Amino acid sequence: MYRLCIFDLDGTLTDTLDSLTFSVNETLKEMGLLPVTADKCRQFVGNGARVLMERSLLEAGETDLGRLDEAMRIYGRIFDANCTYHVVPYKGIPELLTALRQEGLKLAVLSNKPHRQTVHVAEAVFGRDVFWRIQGQKENIPRKPNPQAALQIAEELGISPEDTVYIGDSEVDIATGTNAHMKTIGVTWGFRGRSVLLEAGAEHIAGSPEEIIKLIKE
């Protein structure tokens, strides 16, 4: 039985596509650029806000990325005010978290979303007493798939990587867990599909939150 579950946030615990798409398009609008579709935004998510804006600017026709710093300033302001816009937990996630805690597992969140917004979203949706640690992207910590943050969370809780499961919806998450020598579970309800997760090397694939409980118990 594992002792710690580290979850990605966007696309894994919470459906945040509306908030991300809204904030990206409000940024592009303020810059006088055309919007991107929600499907494109889905593809751009996973490597942090800067990569999200880089890809969005390219999609909007800014091929030299000379306005990236401007975009980051605007996006930071807009997203900070709208990071919970239409955000909801995926069906079955609250029940999953309750069941895992009842089994005695510790829970944590690790996201490439900026730290302030990661904490805000996780606490707004799930409350303040569910996760032992909520970690977003900070300047002094390499972003996923670098394993440093995941390993730090496990170390601070006194739990070995071998007793930890990393759960996420993207190739970035699978690489993070693999790099940290943690068991990996890819989920298919988020921003990527089963084929992407399998190609990334996910040890297990879950099509529903209920499957995660079974996999962990096994």
Nearest to 115 by CA among 135, 87, 91, 142: 135
Residue 10 annotated in active site: no
* Angle in degrees, 0-180, between the axes of helices 68-82 and 49-59, rounded to the nearest 10: 120
> From CA 194, how far away is CA 190, in angstroms rounded?
10
C-beta separation of 10 from 18 below 8 A = no
C-beta separation of 211 from 202 below 8 A = no
Q: Which two tokens stand for residue 51?
A: 């990569």
> From CA 88, how far away is CA 60, in angstroms rounded?
28
- Return the active site residues: 8
